[in-house]
Structure 1
Amino acid sequence: MHAKRLSTVTRVIILTAFYFVGGILGRESSFLDGDVSLVWPPSGIALAAILLFGYGFWPGVALGALLVGLLTVTPLSFAVGTAIGSAAGAVVCTYLLQRFVQFRVTLERVRDVAGLVVLGSVMGTTVNAAFNVGGLCIGGDLPWEKFADEWIVWWVPNAMANLVVAPAILSWGSAEKWQWNLNRTVEALGCGGLLVLATFISFESWYGQGVQSYPLAYLPYPFLVWLALRFGQRGATTGTLLVASLAIHALLLDRGPFFMGVERERESLLLIGTYISVLAISNMLLAAVSLEREAAENSVRDSERRYRGVVEDQTELIWRFRPEGSLTFVNEAYCRYYGKTRSELLGQSFLPLMADDDRQVVLLSFETLSARHPLRTFDFRVVMLDGRARWQNCTVRGIFDEDGKVVEYQGVAQDVTARKEAEEALRQSGERVRTILNSMVDGVLTLDERGVVESFNPAAERIFGFASAEILGRPIQSLLGPEAQAAFTACFELHLKHAGPRSIEVSALRRAGDSFPVDLAISEMYLGSRRLFIAVVRDISERRRLEDQFRQAQKMEAVGRLAAGIAHDFNNLMQAIIGYCNLLLRRLGEGDTGRDGVVQIERAAERATGLTGKLLSFSRKQVLQPKVLSLNSVVQDIHKLLQRVISADIRVVTELEPALGHVKVDPGEIEQAILNLVVNARDAMQSRGQLTIHTANVDTEEPQRLFGSDLPPGRYVMLSVADTGCGMTPDVKAHLFEPFFTTKEQGKGTGLGLSMVYGMVKQSNGYLDVESELGQGTVFRLYLPRFDEAVEHAVAAGAAPLPPAKGGKTILLVEDEEIVRTMLAEVLLEEGHTVLEANDGQQAIEVAASYSGALDLLITDLVMPNLSGREVCERVQAARPGLRVLFMSGYTSDEVIRGQIAEAHAAFLQKPFRPEALLAKVREILSAQGPQS
């Protein structure tokens, strides 16, 4: 290991010495008062050394460059910069050549020569020059503004050295094997001597003085060509080095055809530099072409020796035929293909074997052949013995005589039926892919590695509003909003590093400039060696709308549950207050001083009851008693009331559909809903305007988008209330139906009016829509399911008088609120009934089981802990069939009971109620004939 390390160190020292000597030669052959060298030999020595021996020899280059820099009185920064630049330049040139050219130091290929010229001389040497000039600027010997001009001065010598010096070292330093003999040695020495003589005549003798003798500069060319063709790159590069050295020496002595005078020395350098460059490049290319040709000829000879008889053994069909089509030669593959012997085929025309549709086309192709263009390739079909058509790919060569007349044709064909079938399958597959892409509802974009759009399907055109031609060639970021571009770029860069599908939600832009949310999925694909990306874009505006709608519904549901819970407890309190007020009023005389106070308490409790009713209506927990009715009748019945509610300056217009269908709603609730909408419109118009109430039948076959929901297909009755008021902002609309939300001044509204409308419509299986723009007014539309049943007419008051008070019945009263239970028991006791009390469902069942007498009536609250009122009813009636039941509650979530109440199958009292209402309901139930439903 030590010997090997010593050998490496020795070679590095030798390289340093060569580099140093080359630097001295370069400085001695400089022009313009020693400032400029046309060829800087150390650059070529460095490049050749790194290419031949590897990157590990860069210290020799750096050390040699440092010594050369210190040889003259130069700043240390310049010397260090030169050392770094020289080593870096050689390493960079070597890397470029090996990376992009797979460089061979023998320069036996044209690509090696081209790579050395472009990458090694033109591009790689920019590093050397940059470090050299940078060292001068850092040392203060050169202002930075002259960096570019000085850089060119340093770049040219380095590039010239890599063209002249490096190739000579590489060609002689490579392991190329030469076969020397006496004749070859004599030829080489003779050609070299003549080259030196021709160069001396052109540049060193008095014959070649001055630019007027410029043509003499090309006198060495024949000998350079000789060397290149006969001795390869060693001859070419050595000859170029000799001519360049003599030419530069002549110019140093102010001689030669390129010397234009002392005052025009820069022009002389430009001319001789161009001359040497042309010599070097053309000579190396000539040698490379010659070597490639020689290699090709050797390959052909080897191939001919190995594959003698290839025609007979060839699997391709080979035949010759005269212009009229008669066969003169066929190989064995041709005979096997058609299933005939050679004797059967020779002398016969092969044209009948072609398909009729293709024969004329083939004959026309033969006519286009000429001595200058003797080849033609085409596909055609042939008909086999069994009648099947097969495809052949044929290359026909015309064989011409000296007069350019066709003597024969030679055809080489192969069966390409499988390829044709594959091409057809591929074409059909492409058509299917295009059809799929064109029919997709999602936008599909193809992107290159820079994110530039290469394809844009019709769905993408519909989504973004751009035509495909407008987008192709543009980055996909141009379709995204400003805030989304950074997110997409980060996702795309992550995908470039780590392959795998990625999906992000970003904001995109339509042609009109409006933004909309999209789901953008990115996946990777390869088209041959190209890496492409597929971006699938889905407009998720509808999904986002549904998500917002769902979140709003959840919020409304949560608020509704809260409102229902509050209303239930509040109703129990109001029940007790109203009940005891009523009992007090019955016990106080008309002139009693305390009577007015009790009346005021009762009125306040009733107003509070109305508030809880609105909360229950919004929460959809209120127990409705719907009837089939006509909205036209409802509007007409409350028309006078509406006139009193709104200002005289507001004009009320009704547009009622004569053939309006019927709806099934709670009459009181729908009247209150209309009244609330009218009051809301009145407040929006302030003092003047027009309020329009419109009814119509609506039949939909497709879902229609409404505010906050979708209207499913179906048959509806629509009632709208429109005003010409101030309208609403989008932010106000977003909170429109939330309880206690109001834009009115404090004390002028509870914020429950529209919430009650919302709850009533939803509980009636209807839908609500709002249209409003600031300054343009507002329209509320109620869509209620249409019924074909006849209108249910209410029984006139007093038509069915209640039976007289009759006590003496036994009643089981179940109520979890003690104050309410006590009050109700007192009312029933005053009526003369026997009352059994229970504070929950379990106690009620136990009381009913332990009581041995007859039970005439069960009065139970619906909403109680543990057991609900319905469950109590079912268990007690199981033991006492025929027991009559009266339910009471402020609200209920029990769908069974609500359904029975809605269909009038169950007796029910809505809390809070007056004691008279309870007694009347009890009398009605106890006096009814037959079993209770």
Structure 2
Amino acid sequence: MNIGASMNAGSIRSPTLSWLTKGALLVAVYFIVARLGLRYATIGESISPVWPPTGLALAALLLLGPRYWPAILCGAFLANATTAVPLTAAAGIACGNAAEAALGAYLIRRSFGGQRIALDKPGAVRALVAIAAPLGALASASVGVTTLYLTGALPERTPLAFALGLWWAGDYLGVLVVAPFLLTWAAPSPEFVGRRRVTELVLFAGGAILVAELVLGQVFPTSFLPRTHYPYLLFPLVIGAALRVGPRGASLTTLMVALIAVGHAARGGGPFVMQTVPSTAVVLLLYIGVLAVTGLGLGAVAAQHRRADVGLRDAHERLRTVVQSSPLAMYTLDRTGHVLTWNPAAEALYGWRAEEVLGRSAPTASDDSKVEDEWLRERVLQGQAVKGVELTHRRKDGSRVNVSLSIAPLHGAGDRVAGTLSIAADLTEIRQLEVQYRQSQKLEAIGRLAGGIAHDFNNILTAILGTSDLLLKDLDAGSRAREDVEEIRRAGQRAAGLTRQLLVFSRQQVLDPRVLDLNAIVTNAQTMLRRLIGEDVDLRTILAPDLGAVRADAGQLEQVIVNLTVNARDAMPRGGVVTVETANVELDGRYAERHIPARPGPYVLLAVSDTGVGMDTATKARLFEPFFTTKGPGKGTGLGLATVYGIVKQNSGYIWAYSEPGHGATFKIYLPRAGPAPEPVIRTDVPVAATRGSEVVLVVEDEEEVLRLTTRILEDRGYTVLSAAGGEEALRVVERHTTGIDLLVTDVVMPGMSGREVALLLKPSHPEMKVLYLSGYPDASIVHQGLLEPGLAFLQKPFGPDVLAAKVRDVLDRS
């Protein structure tokens, strides 16, 4: 057995069975309703003044789909076949009824593009009342009356026009009374929810039934009202049901009244009974028709208004939610400047709660901005909008706040400006960030300038210090000339110290980074720090026991601690307390946003605080600038904090100062937390030895004084020296030199060709050649963020003869 084929056949049979089941049920229902309608036939056995099956057929095709028309055809044929008309006439009438339902459903669907038909819109009611129902009824009446006439089933002496009109009216009313009831109750109705709606519907429907029985059953005497006026007492109930409950209420009450009216008229009672049957039918048809159209029209209008009200309330609620949730201060004023609305962001910005300002004049204008605020308001009241105006406003506590204010006109009836909408953004944090950014950019520019100056000075100092050392070797001890040279050397060393600090500030110092325990560095430095600060200053340490490791240069971190501690001592001329603290911290995104250029993540905090005189805002703004100092003449170089700033930045950290006059100062340094265990801090003192050699050394240096000095130092120690004033000259010298070159000593930064490029060009022809780089500051060609590439030898300018000779010997002796 093919299981797949069986399953496929089952899936095909399932929809077929569903269609057959629904179709059979529709045939049965149509047959029953049609038989009831035929009981009230007034012309022969087939023409009734009210034909409910028409409304059932139209609703069925709209709800189930047009493919159920055969069920309508079958039901109509069976209903008419059970009468005295010939089977050919029954078949013709059935075809007319099916065509009526199909045509009406097609016209309604075409009018609404296939959308759901619930008769809750005036357009849907118009399509049903003015297009689908009359045209469909005309098709059915034309086919039915023609069939009866041709088959001889139409009673004699019955005018064709009258028969056609009665048939058309009966089908038309059947659509107006039955179809709306089925369509409105079959479709979902979001408005028809809650116990209140159900109660109202029960009251109106029950009231309509009760009043209809009383009125149409002629219970009231004619002395109260004329007999023909009583039916109009039912209109208020239908209208009330339409307005209060909507299309469902209107359709239900109309159906109830129509059934009772037709029932009484068929039994020969009620106000619609006239002298002749045709006149009775006409009056009944007109009454039910007007009642149905009134109920349907008002129900659709009421539903539309109710949807509009709900939409308006939803839009208002959404707008209120947007305003209340806005992070920007939003408030509205009337033409006189009184507050109409005041959102939570405005409460947070200005400090006044909504209940404190609603209905009162806006209290935000400061003394400085009153004139401009009033001018802006007058301008907006004339219909102009303003955007991004910076003003100083007043808070509830009297403080000032800088805001970016945008104001737009609020238009009322007749497009008249009824008030203003103001949106204010707090610029305080933005301005603080701008200050931080400008300060960072300024320090960056100063750092680049300082690095360039230090580089040039180092070349000059190399010649001064080197030449001084050579002179000292040739001068006798105690001679006046030796004392002069020694003074020159000491001055050069002081200048070299300043250039080293400038290099630190500009973050161009060579580092030896390791994973370190910051607590160990602070502990090791305590003895030295106590000697530096004196007995009148108390040194306290608060060290986190589980402190994370940092990756940095141990010597530089020690220099940071020393510089900050000495700076704290100088801020406490009468003594005080210096506190050095460490801790693990986690910087979040909000902190990073307020402290440019910090990044979120785990850090180790080093904080140095004092109880000194503090600093004002102007001093803090220039705190880390080189050579800026508040100390007296001769009491400081102004490079201490600049050096700290450079070290922290070079180690990928951040530093901020917090201080107020008379309240001391705190410097907080954040260094990125490192993962591996810290390495022990090992101090090594390398003895400088004036070593000699006989190897061939190529010296490349663009500074003539440094080139002569380097050549002389190495020649005095036995080396064979080839000298060149640049990269291209060095290549020519090598071409002329027939033997090998043991060592290349080259400056890093030179015009045209860098020292790194010279080394790379010479390596293929001299693979055994070693390289020693010299520079006033490490260039990016061999140094990346202050870290030397593995295997590269480097000597920082300025240097003396012994230091150069020892470094050359060390590089040559490496395996």
Alignment TM-score, normalising by the size of structure 2 = 0.63
Are 1:577 and 2:471 matched, yes or no? no
Retained in 1: the 8 A contact 2:613–2:661?
A: yes
The equivalent of 1:778 in structure 2 is 665
> What is the CA distance between 1:336 and its match in structure 2?
5.8
Query: 711, 716, 724: which is aligned to 1:838?
Result: 724
Shift of 1:927: 0.9
Partner Cα separation in structure 2 for residue 357 and residue 335 of structure 1: 30
Structure 1 residue aligned with 2:570:
683
Show the counterpart of 1:747: 634
Q: Aligned to 2:455, which of 549, 552, 568?
A: 568
Q: Which residue of 1 aligns with 2:200?
A: 361
Q: 1:253 matched to which residue of 2?
A: none
Amino acid at match of 2:778: T
- Backbone CA RMSD of aligned residues: 4.0
SS class of match (2:565): helix
412-421 vs 822-831, which deviates more? 412-421
Out of 771, 780, 796, which is 1:885 matched to?
771
Residue identity opposite 2:398 in structure 1 = G
Alignment of 1:465-864 (within 5 A): 465-476=351-362, 478-497=363-382, 499-500=384-385, 502-529=387-414, 531=417, 532-704=419-591, 709=596, 711-793=598-680, 797=684, 805-864=691-750
Shift of 1:757: 0.6
CA distance in 2, matches of 1:387, 1:840: 106
Q: d(CA) in 1 for partners of 2:725 and 2:574?
A: 54
CA apart distance, 1:795: 6.0
Match of 1:291 in 2: none
Structure 1 residues 795 and 918 mapped into 2: Cα distance closer, same or farther (>3 Å)?
farther
Distance 1:460 1:796, change over 3 A: closer
Q: Deviations over 1:305-345 (max 9, x none)?
A: xxxxxxxx999xxxxxxxxxxxxxx9999976434799xxx
Q: Is the 8 A contact 1:381 1:389 kept in 2?
A: no
Paired amino acid for 1:481: S
Is structure 2 residue 349 aligned with structure 1 residue 463? yes
Shift of residue 598 of structure 1?
Answer: 2.1
Partners of 1:804 and 1:569 lie apart in 2 by 27
**C-alpha distance in 1 between matches for 2:412 and 2:510:** 67
- The range that moved more, 775-784 or 627-636, is 627-636
Give the Å deviation of 1:456.
1.9
* Secondary structure at the counterpart of residue 341 of structure 2: strand
What is the 5 A alignment of 1:337-356? 337-339=176-178
Q: Could you tell me how far apart the structure 2 residues matched to 1:389 and 1:914 are?
A: 115
Contact kept, 8 Å, 2:468 with 2:488, in 1: the verdict is yes
The residue type paired with residue 844 of structure 1 is A
Query: Alpha-carbon deviation of 1:591?
Result: 4.6
Q: Take 2:377 and 2:593, find their aligned partners in 1: how far apart are those partners?
A: 38
Structure 1 partner of 2:246: 381
2:798 — aligned with what? 912
Between 465-474 and 891-900, report the one with greater CA deviation.
891-900
Task: Find the aligned partners of 1:468 and 1:750 in 2 and give their Cα distance.
Answer: 56
Pairwise CA distance, 1:580: 0.9
Offset at residue 804 of structure 1 (A): 8.5
Select between 752-761 and 600-609 the one with higher mean Cα deviation: 600-609
Between the aligned partners of 1:807 and 1:792, the Cα distance in structure 2 is: 37
Letter of the structure 1 residue corresponding to residue 331 of structure 2:
L
Deviations 1:687-734 (A, max 9, x none): 321212122222334442699646432222222211111111222222
> Residue 576 of structure 1 contacts residue 823 of structure 1 at CA under 8 Å; is this kept in 2?
yes
Q: What amino acid does structure 2 have at the position aligned with 1:515?
A: R
Alignment partners' CA distance in 1, 2:180 and 2:754: 103
- Relative distance call for 1:331 and 1:874 in structure 2 (3 A) is farther
Any idea what SS the aligned residue of 2:574 has? coil
Return the offset for 1:500.
4.7
Aligned partner letter, 2:513? P
Find the residue that maps to 1:483 and give its secondary structure. Answer: coil
Counterparts of 2:198 and 2:557, CA distance in 1: 87
> Shift in Å at residue 533 of structure 1?
3.4
> What percent identity do the matched residue pairs reach?
39
Shift of 1:826: 0.8
Give the equivalent residue in structure 2 for 1:425: 311
Q: Is the 8 A contact 1:662 1:717 kept in 2?
A: yes
Amino acid at match of 1:836: L
Taking the aligned partners of 2:373 and 2:760, their CA distance within structure 1 comes to 63
Rounded to whole Å, the distance in 2 between the matches of 1:389 and 1:637 is 100
Q: Could you list the runs of 5+ residues in structure 1 that have no partner in the other structure?
A: 1-312, 316-329, 343-353, 391-408
Matches within 5 A, 1:168-207: none
Where in structure 2 are the equivalents of 1:164-313 lying within 5 Å?
Answer: none
Cα deviation per residue 1:562-587 (whole Å; 9 max; x = unaligned)? 22222111111111111111112223
Instruction: Report the equivalent of 1:269.
Output: none
Displacement of 1:820: 1.4
Amino acid at match of 1:782: I
Counterparts of 1:89-128 in structure 2, within 5 Å, are none
Summarize the Cα distance change of 1:813–1:360 in structure 2 as closer, same or farther, 3 Å threshold.
same
Task: Verify the 8 A CA contact 1:383 1:389 in the aligned structure 2.
Answer: no
Cα distance, 1:777–1:503 mapped onto 2, change above 3 Å: closer
Counterpart amino acid of residue 514 in structure 1: S
Following TM superposition, by how much is the alpha carbon of 1:765 offset from its aligned partner in structure 2, in angstroms? Answer: 0.6
Q: List gaps (5 residues or longer) in structure 2.
A: 1-128, 132-168, 182-191, 212-232, 256-289
In structure 2, what residue type is equivalent to 1:652? L
**1:873 and 2:759 are equivalent in the alignment:** yes
- One-letter amino acid of the counterpart of residue 519, structure 1: S
Asked whether the equivalents of residues 441 and 459 of structure 1 are also in contact (C-alpha less than 8 Å), the reply is: yes
> 1:417-456 residue pairs with structure 2 within 5 A?
417-456=303-342
Kindly indicate whether structure 1 or structure 2 has the higher relative contact order, using CA contacts under 8 Å at least 6 residues apart.
2
Distance 1:892 1:506 in 2: 49
Q: What do the CA deviations read for 1:481-515 (whole angstroms, capped 9, x no partner)? A: 33233334444444445635532122222222222
CA deviation map 1:813-857 (0-9, x unaligned): 222221112111111111222222222334334444554432222
Does structure 2 conserve the Cα–Cα contact (< 8 Å) formed by 1:901 and 1:907? no
- Letter of the 2:200 partner, please give it: V
Q: 1:331 to 1:676 in 2, by over 3 A?
A: farther
Amino acid at match of 2:745: I
1:518 and 1:540 in contact (8 A); partners too: yes
Report if the CA contact (8 A) 1:626-1:664 is conserved: yes
Using a 3 Å threshold, how does the CA distance of structure 1 residues 598 and 629 change in structure 2: closer, same or farther? farther
1:66-81 mapped onto 2 (5 Å cutoff): none
Q: Over residues 65-102 of structure 1, what are the superposed CA-to-partner deviations in whole Å (9 max), with x where a residue is unaligned?
A: xxxxxxxxxxxxxxxxxxxxxxxxxxxxxxxxxxxxxx
1:921 paired with 2:773, answer no
Change in CA separation of 1:787 and 1:529 when aligned onto 2, cut-off 3 Å: same
The answer to which of 866-875 and 913-922 deviates more is: 866-875
Matches of 1:450 and 1:636, distance apart in 2: 69
Q: Is the 8 A contact 2:746 2:755 kept in 1?
A: yes
Q: Cα distance 1:334–1:860, how it changes in 2: closer, same or farther (>3 A)? A: farther
- The structural deviation recorded for 1:902 is 4.0
One-letter identity of the residue aligned with 2:310:
E
Q: 1:759 to 1:331 in 2, by over 3 A?
A: farther
CA distance in 2, matches of 1:855, 1:449: 91
- TM-score, normalization by structure 1: 0.55
CA spacing shift, 1:341–1:861, aligned 2, 3 Å: closer
Q: Matches of 1:603 and 1:925 in 2, distance apart?
A: 29
C-alpha distance 385-829 of structure 1, shift in aligned 2 (>3 A): same
Give the Cα separation in 2 of the matches to 1:386 and 1:341: 6
Q: Deviations over 1:12-63 (max 9, x none)?
A: xxxxxxxxxxxxxxxxxxxxxxxxxxxxxxxxxxxxxxxxxxxxxxxxxxxx
